[in-house]
């Protein structure tokens, strides 16, 4: 016989909860969610980037997971479960066993087979699908799981923000065409918005993003806007353009050569090239100051090197701009590293210019120098630069590419309004994968015409632990977390003042049991010897939406104090109206 289940409505006495609050932030912690989750005892570090979730954090995780489930199920997701440990063969098929480096944990099993820990599950999804279905009639479908992943991040940091082990919802959709994928991709985008809104996030946006190691072309990241974020986002408030810095573009300023020589005649389209002594002045700032030219009139040279090669790659761009490495990688289709040219014998470090570079150097010209005239560039020999350099006149460039990092104040390429830059934490991502995995792994289905095709895939991820951190990151004050009803471990936090007062104790537990029976998640601070100050501080730190204070004074007037954590508004209500009031507050939140 089925019965009512209250899995997530586990009431709790604080005296028994395995936790410990502390006043001090963990050493080295800078990110607010890391500090507050640790101070409240919600999480405990086991190793670098590896955490145990205490009961409150795990309760939040379960609530978040169930909201995710609900939204995935609404768009016809089928929940499955792929293994954490997979055989090498699966990842060799897709090629990622070789293309992914130290981020992937690998071990040999007792039979000496190479195994990997899943950091994402495209391979497992294709394995399952290709061994199960063979006809287009099953397509489209979307399968998802909520499962542990391990990614050996070089720099885990910030508590649950960047960890090595994490719980993730990852979904995979299969389609007969890109058009069909796009329809589903849009539904996913909506589902993600619903999820983030339902878990209580306010300041989030979706931005165009790089597809990175996933392959594919179109991708979006959902970003929580926060100064603690390690991603830079380029935003146009006017037309709504939003992009991760990695793939952001700005309007290219069209340069019209000055018709008259500027004052002093030093820089002009018509003046001949001339070598100028710049001595020890090497950086854009130094050269700019020494020659009294604007940074925008200097051509900057930035040197990289192929990850597995030796040949330097020189990027030339306008002096006020920086290179966007993500864009550069895409252009040259190679992994690159910054290169320290100061000890390189072939390159005149600090004086690298467009004319007379050694032959073995690859060169990339950014669009920002297209048509530029009257520029300063390096002379490719120590202590000298060249002035009056006209790009069209003094060198022939066949191809310009966009590899510059967008700066705040540049113009939007869509609407020419000013761009701003904000910081964000990635809270979810969606990718149009295409046939990268189905093709490499050999998954085919027969289409309507009886032809073999590789299905088109999309994939969609949300980290559960990072969602917990983001919720805290998005809503806190100087006293602690401010958690929304939908995901707070408990909705109501009862603080009895003076547990030695029998009446206080009796009424407190009466309310606790009543809320319990109504299915309202309630925790009671039944610790006997603590002062009200300590109990209030813990309640504020915990951040449950509604705090009740049961005190001897209140009881005299048959009143209970309600404090709304978010607004810190205090209401005194008669005992008989308490439940109704709480229900109203829950409903309103």
For 34-72, the DSSP string reads HHHHHHTTSEEEEETTEEEE-HHHHHHHHHHHHHHHHHH
**Which residues in 460-499 contact its own copies (CB under 8 A)?**
485-486
Looking at 25, 75, 93, 128, which residue binds its own copies (CB under 8 A)?
128
Binding to its own copies (CB under 8 A) within 138-157 occurs at 138, 141, 143, 145, 147-148, 150, 152, 154
Residue 266 contacts its own copies per CB under 8 A: no
Taking the CA atoms of 347, 348, 354 and 356 in sequence, report the sign of the dihedral they define.
negative
State the Cα–Cα distance between residues 306 and 413, nearest whole angstrom: 30
**Contacting its own copies (CB under 8 A), which of 32, 124, 550, 582?**
124
Shortest Å, Cβ 167 to its own copies: 8
* Cβ atoms of 37 and 80 closer than 8 Å: no
State in angstroms the smallest separation of the CB of 102 from its own copies.
Answer: 4
Count residues binding its own copies (CB under 8 A): 82
Among 1, 23, 98, 452, interactor with its own copies by CB under 8 A? 1
Under the binding rule (CB under 8 A), the answer on residue 44 touching its own copies is yes
Binders of its own copies among residues 183 to 212 (CB under 8 A) are: none
What does the DSSP assignment read for 436-491? HHHHHHT--EE-TTS-EEPPEEEEEEEEHHHHHHHHHHHSEETTEE---TTT-S-S
DSSP string covering 5-42 = --TT---EETTTS-----SSPPTT--SHHHHHHHHTTS
Q: Is residue 59 near its own copies by the rule CB under 8 A?
A: yes
Q: Which of residues 274-333 bind its own copies (CB under 8 A)?
A: none
- Binding its own copies (rule: CB under 8 A), the pick from 23, 27, 28, 47 is 47
| Residue 113 binding its own copies, by CB under 8 A | yes
Q: Minimal CA–CA distance to 403: which of 340, 341, 339, 313?
A: 313
**Rounded Cα distance, 281 and 382, in Å:** 10
Range in contact with its own copies (rule: CB under 8 A) among 124-132, 271-279, 287-295, 505-513: 124-132
Does position 538 interact with its own copies (CB under 8 A)? The reply is no
Task: Report the candidate in 538, 503, 551 with the shortest Cα–Cα distance to residue 14.
Answer: 538
Answer whether 357's CB lies under 8 Å from 314's CB: yes
Nearest residue to 448 (alpha-carbon basis) of 139, 224, 185: 139
Please identify which residue in 32, 119, 129, 207 interacts with its own copies, judged by CB under 8 A.
129
Angstrom CA distances, 151 to 33, 85, 154, 237, 522, stand at 21, 13, 9, 35, 36
Residue selected from 25, 55, 331, 530 as contacting its own copies according to rule CB under 8 A: 55
Ranges within 69-108 binding its own copies (CB under 8 A): 69-70, 73, 76, 78-87, 90, 102-103, 105-107
Shortest separation between residue 254's beta carbon and its own copies, angstroms: 47
Give yes or no for a contact between 177 and 435, defined as CB atoms under 8 angstroms apart.
Answer: no
Tell whether residue 48 is a contact of its own copies (CB under 8 A).
yes
State yes or no: residue 253 binds its own copies (CB under 8 A).
no
Q: Which is nearer to its own copies, 120 or 377 (CB)?
A: 120
Q: How far is the CB of 301 from its own copies (least distance, A)?
A: 33
Stretch that binds its own copies, among 132-140, 313-321, 386-394, 563-571 (CB under 8 A): 132-140
Q: Which of 24, 27, 131, 292 binds its own copies (CB under 8 A)?
A: 131
- CA distance linking residue 293 with residue 289, whole number of Å: 7
Pick 143 or 302: Cβ nearer its own copies = 143
HEC-encoded secondary structure of 539-586: HHHHCCCEEEEECHHHHHCCEEEEEECCCCEEEEEEHHHHHHHHHHHH
- Rounded to a whole number, what is the distance in angstroms from the first to the last CA of the chain? 34
Site for its own copies contains 162 (CB under 8 A): no
Compose the 3-22 pattern: x for residues touching its own copies by CB under 8 A, - for all others.
--xxx--x-x--xxxxxx--
């Amino acid at each position: 016989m089925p019965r009512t289940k209250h899995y997530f409505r586990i009431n709790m006495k604080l005296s028994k909860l395995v936790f410990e609050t502390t006043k001090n932030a963990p050493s080295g912690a800078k990110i607010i969610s890391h500090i507050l989750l640790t101070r409240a005892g919600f999480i405990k570090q086991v190793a670098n980037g590896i955490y145990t979730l205490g009961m409150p954090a795990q309760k939040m995780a379960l609530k978040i997971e169930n909201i995710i489930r609900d939204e995935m199920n609404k768009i016809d997701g089928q929940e499955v479960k792929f293994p954490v440990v997979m055989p090498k063969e699966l990842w060799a098929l897709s090629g990622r066993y070789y293309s992914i480096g130290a981020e992937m944990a690998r071990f040999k099993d007792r039979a000496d087979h190479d195994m990997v820990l899943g950091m994402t599950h495209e391979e497992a999804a294709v394995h399952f699908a290709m061994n199960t279905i063979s006809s287009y009639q099953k397509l489209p479908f979307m399968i998802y799981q909520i499962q542990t992943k391990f990614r050996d991040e070089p720099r885990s940091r910030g508590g649950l923000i960047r960890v090595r082990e994490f719980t993730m919802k990852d979904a995979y959709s299969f389609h007969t065409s890109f058009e069909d994928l796009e329809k589903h991709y849009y539904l996913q985008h909506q589902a993600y918005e619903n999820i983030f809104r339902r878990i209580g996030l306010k300041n989030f946006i979706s931005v165009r993003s790089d597809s990175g190691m996933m392959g594919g072309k179109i991708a979006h990241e959902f970003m929580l806007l926060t100064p603690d974020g390690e991603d830079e986002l380029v935003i146009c408030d006017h037309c709504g353009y939003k992009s991760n810095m990695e793939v952001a573009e700005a309007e290219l300023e069209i340069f019209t050569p000055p018709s008259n020589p500027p004052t002093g005649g030093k820089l002009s389209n018509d003046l001949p090239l001339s070598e100028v002594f710049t001595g020890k002045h090497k950086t854009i700032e130094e050269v700019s100051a020494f020659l009294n030219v604007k940074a925008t009139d200097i051509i900057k040279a930035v040197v990289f090197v192929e990850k597995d090669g030796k040949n330097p790659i020189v990027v030339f761009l306008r002096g006020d701009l920086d290179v966007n490495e993500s864009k550069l990688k895409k252009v040259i289709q190679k992994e690159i590293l910054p290169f320290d040219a100061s000890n390189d014998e072939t390159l005149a470090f600090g004086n690298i210019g467009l004319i007379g570079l050694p032959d073995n150097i690859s060169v990339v010209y950014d669009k920002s120098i297209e048509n530029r005239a009257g520029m300063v560039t390096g002379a490719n020999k120590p202590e000298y630069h060249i002035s009056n350099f006209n790009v069209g006149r003094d060198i022939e460039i066949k191809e310009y590419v966009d590899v510059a990092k967008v700066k705040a104040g540049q113009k939007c390429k869509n609407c020419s309004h000013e761009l701003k830059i904000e910081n964000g934490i990635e809270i979810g991502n969606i990718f149009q994968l295409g046939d990268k995995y189905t093709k490499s792994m050999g998954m085919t289905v027969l289409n309507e015409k009886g032809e073999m095709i590789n299905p088109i895939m999309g994939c969609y991820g949300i980290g559960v632990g990072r969602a917990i951190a983001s919720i805290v990151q998005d809503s806190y004050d100087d006293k602690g977390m401010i958690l929304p009803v939908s995901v707070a471990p408990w909705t109501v936090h009862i603080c009895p003042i003076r547990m030695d007062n029998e009446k206080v104790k009796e009424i407190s537990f009466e309310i606790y049991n009543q809320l319990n029976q109504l299915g309202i998640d309630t925790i009671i601070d039944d610790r006997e010897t603590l002062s009200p100050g300590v109990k209030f501080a813990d309640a504020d730190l915990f951040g449950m939406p509604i705090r009740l204070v049961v005190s001897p004074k209140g009881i005299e007037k048959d009143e209970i104090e309600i404090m709304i954590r978010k607004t810190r508004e205090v209401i005194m209500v008669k005992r008989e109206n308490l439940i109704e009031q709480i229900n109203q507050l829950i409903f309103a939140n």
